[in-house]
A and B are shown apart, each in its own frame.
Chain A
Amino acid sequence: MILAQQLILGVLVGGLYGLAAAGLSLTFGVLRVLNVAHGELLMLGGYGTFWLFTLWQIDPFVSLLAVAPAMFVLGMVLYWALFQFVVKAHEETRIKNSLLIGFGLTLVLHALAIRLWTADERAVTTAYAGAVLRLGGLAIPWLRLSCLVFAFAILTALHLFLAKARWGRAIRATAEDWEAAALMGIPVGKTYLLAFALGTALAGIAGGLVSISYSISPSIGMEWTLKALIVIVLAGLGSLFGSFAGGIILGLAEAMSVVFLGGPYREVVGLILFLIVLVVRPQGLFGARA
């Protein structure tokens, strides 16, 4: 029973891992830059939701309607101010330069968050926060379940955009071969901007959901970047639903480690998984062989 309960919680947190990873995977897959400040962007989205709730009592799910576009705009600004210079370089140089810029951004955002919101842990506590769905002897928190469904809905919407919309297809074409995309008349710079802004908005939404169902503090960034990286390695690049499934697998693995090994091993099991996948199946569980 304890195992089943833990596994359910694992799935619920895994959906958020998947959402965080999907944003990172989008920017990585399209721009070929690794934005290590992705977790900090997630943290900002969390504080945005927290702010709207604390200052104006706006329901967190509603506030995501404001947080997501705000984060989208922030993504545009960050691309314009920083990452547009990174993507001008050749692909190997892009990764290195983006790491440097990403770490710098991490430090800035971390310090800024401590200034603005102090180092305390914060969470959005709504009136319905404690509601629980009882199934047999199992307790499923309604809020976390809603977050999982919400995350899945966002990824489905993004999937449809990438599959059907003119600019969504332009993003996929650019990810596959930017030179060929340019020859089609696709403005590659604009697709990069769009993909980065979408990735940032996804981080913001994930952060909002984290602030609702868990808690946020200025230092959670690195942890979430790490989780997202583990999921990307686990799932492979190029599939949003692959990222979602990868996130849930990570959540389940963590849950099992809590039951069988004890709480402290929770963070370690993801890294072990990371190493095993890199050795055994470097293209990821759902990724195509390069």
Chain B
Amino acid sequence: MLEITNLQVAYGPLLALHGVDLIIRPGEMVALVGPNGAGKSTLLKTISGLLAPRAGAIRWQDEKISAASPQRIVEHGIALVPEGRRLFAAMTVRENLELGAFTERAHREKHAQMERVFTLFPRLFERQRQRAGLLSGGEQQMLALGRALMGLPRLLLLDEPSLGLAPKIVESIFAILAQLHRDGMSLLIVEQNVHAVLALVQRAYILEGGRIVGEGDGKILLADDHIRAAYLGPLARGAV
């Protein structure tokens, strides 16, 4: 469904991704883990069209999308929930959701889809007239997720959805992601909370220094010694 081959992305002269290969099959939930500066956000931004690759290809349902604008990519059904949520803080919850349905395709389904988002996040329904900037961190993450869902995505990219949130809220966000997955959505999740995300997904990629250095079943990676030492730390054995 999504097929990335030999993707290279550079910031000026600095190469951030050195030929990345990655596949997401229909309905799959995949994690992308790795240390800070490995290029995880760069990869998500490139898939969404915010960055242009220097070489390599991104294919979506056998169509090349690596040179397309962010707008075209949203229309294709790929949505990014960016790091730091990037809500329109001065606008209301409802306005944020409506902006999520800006494309023609999503605009037609706007009302029905908003119902679905409100069913998924009853909290957003209660707060719909509030300014997004006044929400709590957890509510903001729900809104960021709901806003992305308004675009009727088939593949959802998430950049650090648990960042800065209390464990209880992370749990409920992850439960929602699992539910979206059960409903047939494909997901690619970048996450620092490696332990929790590897337990959630079917498959994971490990990105280090702009290269994919490992790939495999989430639960198997969770038991891998290198992963444990590199990302989970000494506490991992007893945690969660």
B-contacting residues of A (Cβ < 8 Å)?
166, 169-170, 172-173, 176-177, 179-187, 238
Contact = CB atoms under 8 A, between A and B. Distances in A.
B11 interface: no
Contact of B48 (A177, A183, A238): A183
A166 B102 contact: yes
- Name the 9 nearest CB pairs between A and B, nearest first: A185-B74, A180-B86, A185-B103, A182-B70, A185-B102, A184-B102, A176-B88, A185-B71, A187-B71
A19 to B, nearest CB: 23
B106 interface: yes
A173 B87 contact: no
Interface of B: 48-50, 69-71, 74-75, 79-80, 82, 86-91, 95, 98-100, 102-103, 106-107, 147-148, 151
A177 to B, nearest CB: 6
Contacts of A187: 69, 71
B82 A184 contact: no
Given A169-B95, A179-B50, A184 B89 contact: no
A186 B99 contact: yes
A188 B140 CA distance: 23
A176 B133 CA distance: 12
Contacts of B102: 166, 170, 184-186
Given A173-B91, A185-B75, A187-B71, A180 B82 contact: yes
A176 B99 CA distance: 13
A173 B88 contact: yes
Nearest to A186: B102
A122 B49 CA distance: 52
Contact of B99 (A169, A179, A238): A169
A174 to B, nearest CB: 10
A171 to B, nearest CB: 11
A283 to B, nearest CB: 14
A183 B159 CA distance: 13
B117 to A, nearest CB: 14
A170 B86 contact: no
Contact of B50 (A182, A186, A238): A182
B110 to A, nearest CB: 10
A183 B80 contact: yes
B79 A180 contact: no
A185 B151 contact: yes
A173 B98 CA distance: 11
A180 B48 contact: no
B81 to A, nearest CB: 9
A166 B106 CA distance: 13
Contacts of A177: 86, 88
A185 B106 contact: yes
Contacts of B100: 184
Contacts of B98: 169
A182 B87 CA distance: 12
B71 A182 contact: yes
Nearest to B150: A184
Contact of A183 (B79, B106, B107): B79
